[in-house]
């Protein structure tokens, strides 16, 4: 379970006000998950009441964080044996999510 300072809780509340959802990913119990649409990221507590990205934002596949792989000259979001092709629409959604999250986190630094 993640211990957060009041400043970090306030930052999460600001993210929620911007349309993000706080979610739990059981495999990453020491991180805070945030989701918007089909995308999510893991955040970790940082000094000074901040939160930082623990890893790159990810496209969700059946509610799980995926990884991007190259197969057969195409890109895929993969989680276990499930895969979803990276389309321009999905890539755009992931890029917008990452940019919006980065702006929101930087606004507090």
Q: What is the mean pLDDT of the chain?
A: 94
- Global pTM reads 0.91
Domain count, the chain: 1
Supply the pLDDT for residue 49: 87
Give the other-Cβ count within 10 Å of 67's Cβ.
13
The reply to whether 93 falls in a domain is yes
Beta pairing, strands 32-36 & 39-46: antiparallel
Residue-wise pLDDT tens digits, 43-95: 999 988 899 999 999 999 999 999 999 999 999 999 999 999 999 999 999 99
Instruction: Name, in order, each residue with C-beta under 8 angstroms of 86's C-beta and a sequence gap of 6 or more.
Output: 59, 68, 74, 75, 76, 77
Supply the pLDDT for residue 68: 96
The reply to whether 1 falls in a domain is no
**Which three-class secondary structure state does DSSP give residue 44?**
strand
Q: Which is more confident, 1 or 24?
A: 24
Q: Which structural domain, as residue segments, surrounds residue 31? A: 6-106
* CA-only gyration radius of the chain, Å: 14
């Amino acid at each position: 379970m993640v211990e957060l300072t009041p400043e970090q809780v306030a930052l999460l509340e600001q993210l929620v006000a911007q349309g993000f959802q706080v979610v739990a990913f059981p495999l990453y119990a020491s991180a805070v998950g945030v989701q918007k649409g089909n995308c999510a990221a893991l955040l970790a507590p940082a000094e000074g009441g901040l939160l930082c990205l623990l890893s790159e934002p990810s496209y969700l596949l059946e509610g799980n964080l995926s990884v991007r792989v190259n197969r057969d000259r195409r890109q895929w979001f993969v989680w276990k044996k499930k895969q979803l092709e990276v389309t321009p629409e999905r890539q755009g959604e992931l890029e917008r999510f990452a940019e919006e999250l980065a702006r929101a986190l930087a606004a507090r630094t």
